């Protein structure tokens, strides 16, 4: 009897299905250079080929992991020697851009940055944006409901998807390639596949909503004396800039000081403040937008909301400011670093951060916990370093970061998803009845548990 | 053995459960003054009472219809003498408004307008808005994924809901009262209950996202010579107004002429144009926004995009302009009127409207088909009058309006839902595999088919 690799290759061809040894030439992920392991890797060129692949695997009870750009942070696309990997790398066409309806129809394997650039060529933008833009794929962004730095203005991936095509565990193709903002004809099935990390179906194509390109940009790095000032500044900007605010990235003082230590980024202002915010507004009228931005910034300074501000005078200066927020390699000089992605109500943030830091210091007196956040979205990222050696440190750090979320209704995953890494912590953020309903959906749509098993649930 | 009314009243009390005769004192709906029919009507005060109600009905295999404000357009809340009606009218509290996180936590029975006014008291807005605002409830808005006039800027109800609590058919309470913009901890269960018209669960409470209030408003009624000019104007406004465009309501010429006939609304400009648009922009800076708006309008006039324009000079004038769009009682002097709510890609609209009108005229030479639309959302409303008497006219009109949607990927329901009225047409907009998956979800979550049976599917 042929094994699963032989069966798939016989059905789909040697160009589409590659074997374990060729799979092992690939790195496991962006983060893990060890060889990728699998029984076979399938690279369908069409939805029909993917459907055939899933039908074969379903009949054989063969487990499948779907892979996009492999930049996920929660081990949601890991495989082992018994896995069939489905990679959407050959389904990488932008099928259509509709400039009147402002939509793009794209295959799942298109890199995020490729879509962004294609939209720009038509005077439009695809506003979901994150650091991995060059490698991550639109299909992966959909499967994980990606967030990133523009959520405050443009929403997460879920709010960008108008239509979607997915293949179910048994090979059935669910094609809901809607192009309209409004469509209430029956259940909104696409929601099942967005953010479920490949456990309910494999996303093959999507219709996404684009926006008119903005033509003005005003940015600033500001320093603030307290968290109340941070939330008041956010409110002032959202009220006064008429919807133009596109980024409001908060850095706690320790983070700022760490990444601006000598040898890393140059500090463009005094390093002693408790909070720093990188903020950006985008509009359509350069002169008017700049005048408004400066007026609001002056008001924030004169009201004492902002203690200091740097306005970049060139693209080079702007990039240097953004790098303080985005390039945190300085933190990785300490090892290990445990990265977190939590969300919680904004008003709970100062107390929550203090509690996590206190817990960590009680456990490890020399520990460090640097914090940055998309606070307008309720989202914080932590970088925890224990400051000593020991066993089970990651699990202990998880405990300290996650446990205080439960009483305040926080989430263990704001934008990274659950994958394998956070699976055992899911009950901190979701009730037993919620998890039971998730399991019921999973069992209904994937009764043989072949789609990305062991992830999420 | 006690009947279902007696069982429910014994469990919940006479204040909560009323009998058929008292139910019949109510009108069937906003549209239908005939007496409401039911075996009993339950008005739970709490989620626990609703859970108890559903558990009793589930054990008895008793069908349930959930009712909000009874303003729906597709007979999605109709009952008969064997039905137990669940009305959320006593769950009408606004539990909390968080001005820092910009969220409101509300019970399902709160009227939309009450929520809008409560948000305004805190300098915030709840931007979902529609004509039935005084009667429709937030729970009904969630269950039907309500749209309305601000979707182009603020999205539909689905994009406003951050957290949700619902009771399943068997009484299980699924509480997902998330407050954050970002939460990727497992499947996004709330999506199951939004827009599924009460067939998968009963929504009891929601957390919705508010926005900072705008403080400037600029409006105009404009006339245009062709549909290309309409789409170009939309694009110009979306690009030039920096995200301030909040309404762009297109009226086809026949509609405009009908509602401005002598005895109805005064026509503020010449009545011979093929298209009229009521447009509005909202921002945060009165002087700057007005200057920008006037600059863009002047450009649209000088470029020949706009043939004529009226800028209201007072609130009274503004209301008079909006009434042309919103008060279409003039159309109802002809009877019958069949109302439609379809969506389709914008670029397909002129050909689709022409085809529908040609089909109707072939069938009924004196027929009229007035058209208005939220075209930025891909959404058109038709008012069809056959212009003669006959049998089965509604079904024939349905055929003429819906059939041409199929080849262009249009939807038979943009924002009204499916209810009973459009159920038999669902296959025009959804594939057999999509409908089979909807039925699988329904069967999984409501195996006894007690929740709003016969609606949607």
Three-class DSSP labels, chain B: CCCHHHHHHHHHCCCCEEEHHHHCCCECCCCCCCECCCCEEECCCCHHHHHHHHHHHHHHCCCEEEECCCCCCCCCCCCCCCCEEEECCCCCCEEEEECCCCEEEEECCCEHHHHHHHHHHCCEECCCECCCCCCCEHHHHHHCCCCECCHHHHCCHHHHEEEEEEECCCCCEEEECCCCCCCCCCCCCHHHHCCCCCCCCEEEEEEEECEECCCEEEEEEEEECCHHHHHHHHHHHHHHCCCCEEEEEEEEHHHHHHHCCCCCCCCCCCCCCCEEEEEEEEECCHHHHHHHHHHHHHHHHHCCCCCEEECCCCHHHHHHHHHHHHCCHHHHHCCCCEEEEEECCHHHHHHHHHHHHHHHHHHCCCCEEEEEEEHHHCEEEEEEECCCCCCCHHHHHHHHHHHHHHHHCCECCCCCCCCCCCHHHHHHHCCHHHHHHHHHHHHHHCCCCCECCCCCC
B294 and B393 in a single domain? The answer is: no
Give me the pLDDT at residue B131, please: 87
**Nearest residue in chain A measured CA to CA from B456:** A186
Q: Which of residues 136-175 of A touch B (CB under 8 A)?
A: 144-145, 147, 151-153, 155-156, 158-159, 168, 172-175
B436 and B348 in a single domain? The answer is: yes
CATH number at residue B386: 3.30.70.2740
Average pLDDT of every residue of chain B: 96
Give the contacts of B309 (CB within 8 A, at least 6 positions apart). Answer: B220, B221, B222, B223, B269, B297, B300, B301
A119 and A191 in a single domain? The answer is: yes
Q: For CA atoms A418, A421, A424, A425, give the dihedral sign.
A: negative
CB atoms within 10 A of CB A116: 17
The answer to whether residue A447 sits within a structural domain is no
**Chain A within 8 Å of B412 (Cβ-Cβ)?**
yes
Give me the pLDDT at residue B149, please: 83
Question: What digits encode the pLDDT tens for the residues B325-370?
Answer: 988 989 999 999 999 999 999 999 999 999 999 999 999 999 999 9
Residues of chain A in contact with residue B376, where contact means CB-CB under 8 angstroms, are 181
List Cα–Cα distances, A87 to A39, A389, B186, B243, in angstroms.
13, 38, 23, 37
Of B194, B212, B230, which residue is a domain's last?
A: B212
The answer to whether residue B59 sits within a structural domain is yes
Nearest Cα neighbor of B437 from B419, B417, B457, B423 is B457
**Nearest residue in chain A measured CA to CA from B162:** A377
Nearest Cα neighbor of A191 from A156, A151, A161 is A161
A98 and A203 in a single domain? The answer is: yes
Q: State the smallest CA–CA distance between residue B378 and chain A in angstroms.
A: 5
What's the angle, vertex CA A151, arms to CA A165 and CA A219, rounded to 5? Answer: 140
**Chain A within 8 Å of B437 (Cβ-Cβ)?**
yes
**Chain A within 8 Å of B291 (Cβ-Cβ)?**
yes
Q: Which of residues 37-76 of B touch A (CB under 8 A)?
A: none
B123 and B80 in a single domain? The answer is: no
Give me the pLDDT at residue B142, please: 98
Q: Which of residues 73-102 of B touch A (CB under 8 A)?
A: 98, 100-101
Q: Which of residues 337-366 of B touch A (CB under 8 A)?
A: 343-347
Nearest Cα neighbor of B51 from B136, B175, B164, B163 is B175
User: Phi/psi at A106 (nearest 5 deg)?
Assistant: -135, 150
B107 and B206 in a single domain? The answer is: yes
CATH number at residue A17: 3.30.43.10
Record: contact B235-A100, CB cut-off 8 A: yes
Give me the pLDDT at residue A33, please: 95
B100 and B70 in a single domain? The answer is: no
Give me the pLDDT at residue A124, please: 97
Of A279, A301, A329, which residue is a domain's last?
A: A329
User: What is the C-alpha to C-alpha distance for residues B356 and A251, in angstroms, rounded to an integer?
Assistant: 57
Residues of chain B in contact with residue A422, where contact means CB-CB under 8 angstroms, are 185
For residues B102 and A345, is the Cβ–Cβ distance under 8 A?
Answer: no
What's the angle, vertex CA A422, arms to CA A417 and CA A424, rounded to 5? Answer: 140
**Chain B within 8 Å of A280 (Cβ-Cβ)?**
no
For residues A398 and A421, is the Cβ–Cβ distance under 8 A?
Answer: no
The answer to whether residue A32 sits within a structural domain is yes
The answer to whether residue A449 sits within a structural domain is no
Residues of chain A in contact with residue B188, where contact means CB-CB under 8 angstroms, are 145, 158, 191, 194-195
Give me the pLDDT at residue B72, please: 95
A390 and A316 in a single domain? The answer is: no
Residues of chain A in contact with residue B151, where contact means CB-CB under 8 angstroms, are 181-182
SS3 at position A226:
coil
The answer to whether residue B267 sits within a structural domain is yes
CATH number at residue B235: 3.30.70.2190
Question: What digits encode the pLDDT tens for the residues B76-108?
Answer: 999 999 999 999 999 999 999 999 999 999 999
B341 and B436 in a single domain? The answer is: yes
**Chain B within 8 Å of A24 (Cβ-Cβ)?**
no
Residues of chain A in contact with residue B155, where contact means CB-CB under 8 angstroms, are 155, 159, 181
What parts of chain B have a pLDDT lower than 70? none
For residues B180 and A378, is the Cβ–Cβ distance under 8 A?
Answer: yes
A176 and A286 in a single domain? The answer is: no
The answer to whether residue A395 sits within a structural domain is yes
Per-residue burial over B123-158, b = 16 or more CB atoms within 10 Å of its CB, e = otherwise: ebbbbbbbebbeebbbbbbbbbbbbbbbbbbbbbbb
For residues A228 and A249, is the Cβ–Cβ distance under 8 A?
Answer: no
Task: Among A55, A123, A156, A185, pick the best mutation site for testing chain B contact (most B Cβ within 10 A).
Answer: A185
**Chain B within 8 Å of A408 (Cβ-Cβ)?**
no
Identify the helix (H) or strand (E) that includes residue A175. strand A173-176
Give me the pLDDT at residue B242, please: 81
CA B36 to chain CA centroid, Å, is 22
Of B180, B212, B244, which residue is a domain's last?
A: B212
**Chain B within 8 Å of A232 (Cβ-Cβ)?**
no
B242 and B298 in a single domain? The answer is: yes
Q: What is the pLDDT along chain A (457 residues), one digit of tens a residue?
A: 899 999 999 999 999 999 999 999 999 999 899 999 999 999 999 999 999 999 999 999 999 999 999 999 999 999 999 999 999 999 999 999 999 999 999 999 999 999 999 999 999 999 999 989 999 999 999 999 999 888 999 999 999 999 999 999 999 999 999 999 999 999 999 999 999 999 999 999 999 999 999 999 999 999 999 999 999 999 999 999 988 999 999 999 999 999 999 999 999 999 999 999 999 999 988 998 999 999 999 999 999 999 999 999 999 999 999 999 998 989 999 999 999 999 999 999 999 999 999 999 999 999 999 999 999 999 999 999 999 999 999 999 999 999 999 999 999 999 999 999 999 999 999 999 999 999 999 999 999 999 999 999 9
CB atoms within 10 A of CB B330: 18
User: What is the C-alpha to C-alpha distance for residues B20 and B36, in angstroms, rounded to an integer?
Assistant: 9
Record: contact A179-B409, CB cut-off 8 A: yes
Q: What total of structural domains would you count in chain B? A: 4
State the residue range of the domain holding B69: 4-89
Record: contact B186-A235, CB cut-off 8 A: no
CATH number at residue A105: 3.30.465.10
Residues of chain B in contact with residue A95, where contact means CB-CB under 8 angstroms, are none
A340 and A437 in a single domain? The answer is: yes
Residues of chain B in contact with residue A289, where contact means CB-CB under 8 angstroms, are 242
Q: Which of residues 209-228 of A touch B (CB under 8 A)?
A: 211-216
The answer to whether residue B161 sits within a structural domain is yes
The answer to whether residue B151 sits within a structural domain is yes
């Amino acid at each position: 009897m042929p094994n699963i690799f032989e069966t798939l290759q016989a059905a789909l061809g040697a160009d589409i299905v590659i074997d374990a040894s060729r799979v092992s030439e690939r790195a496991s992920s962006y983060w893990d250079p060890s060889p990728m392991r699998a029984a076979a890797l399938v690279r369908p060129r069409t939805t029909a080929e993917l459907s055939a692949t899933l039908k074969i695997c379903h009949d054989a009870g063969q487990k499948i992991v779907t892979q996009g750009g492999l930049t996920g942070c929660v081990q949601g696309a890991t495989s082992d020697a018994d896995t069939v990997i489905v990679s959407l790398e050959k389904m990488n066409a932008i099928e259509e851009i509709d400039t009147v309806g402002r939509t793009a129809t794209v295959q799942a394997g298109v890199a995020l940055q490729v879509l962004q650039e294609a939209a720009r060529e038509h005077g439009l933008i695809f506003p979901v944006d994150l650091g991995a833009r060059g490698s991550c794929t639109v299909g992966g962004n959909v499967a994980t409901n990606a967030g990133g730095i523009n959520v405050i203005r443009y929403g997460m991936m879920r709010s960008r998807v108008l239509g979607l095509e997915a293949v179910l565990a048994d090979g059935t193709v669910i094609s809901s390639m809607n192009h309209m903002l409004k469509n209430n004809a029956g259940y909104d099935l696409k929601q099942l596949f967005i953010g479920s990390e490949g456990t309910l179906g494999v996303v093959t194509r999507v219709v996404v909503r684009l926006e008119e390109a903005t033509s003005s940009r005003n940015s600033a790095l500001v320093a603030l004396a307290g968290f109340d000032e941070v939330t008041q500044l956010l409110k002032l900007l959202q009220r006064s800039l008429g919807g133009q605010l596109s980024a409001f990235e908060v850095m706690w003082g320790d983070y700022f000081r760490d990444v601006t230590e000598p040898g890393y980024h140059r500090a463009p202002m005094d390093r002693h403040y408790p909070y720093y915010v990188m903020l950006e507004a985008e509009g359509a009228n350069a002169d008017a937008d700049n005048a408004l931005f400066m007026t609001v910034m002056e008001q924030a300074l004169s009201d004492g909301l902002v203690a200091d501000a740097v306005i970049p005078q060139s693209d080079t200066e702007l990039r240097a400011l953004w790098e303080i927020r985005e390039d945190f390699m300085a933190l990785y000089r300490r090892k290990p670093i445990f990265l977190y992605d939590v969300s919680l109500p904004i008003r709970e943030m100062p107390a929550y951060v203090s509690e996590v830091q206190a817990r960590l210091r009680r456990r490890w007196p020399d520990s460090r916990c640097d914090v940055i956040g998309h606070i307008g979205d309720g989202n914080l990222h932590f970088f925890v370093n224990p400051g000593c050696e020991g066993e089970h440190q990651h699990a202990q750090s998880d405990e300290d970061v996650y446990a205080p979320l439960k009483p305040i209704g926080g989430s263990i995953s704001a934008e990274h998803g659950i994958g394998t890494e956070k699976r055992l912590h899911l009950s901190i953020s979701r009730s037993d009845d919620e998890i039971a309903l998730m399991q019921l959906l999973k069992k209904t749509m994937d009764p043989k548990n072949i789609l990305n098993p062991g992830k999420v649930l």
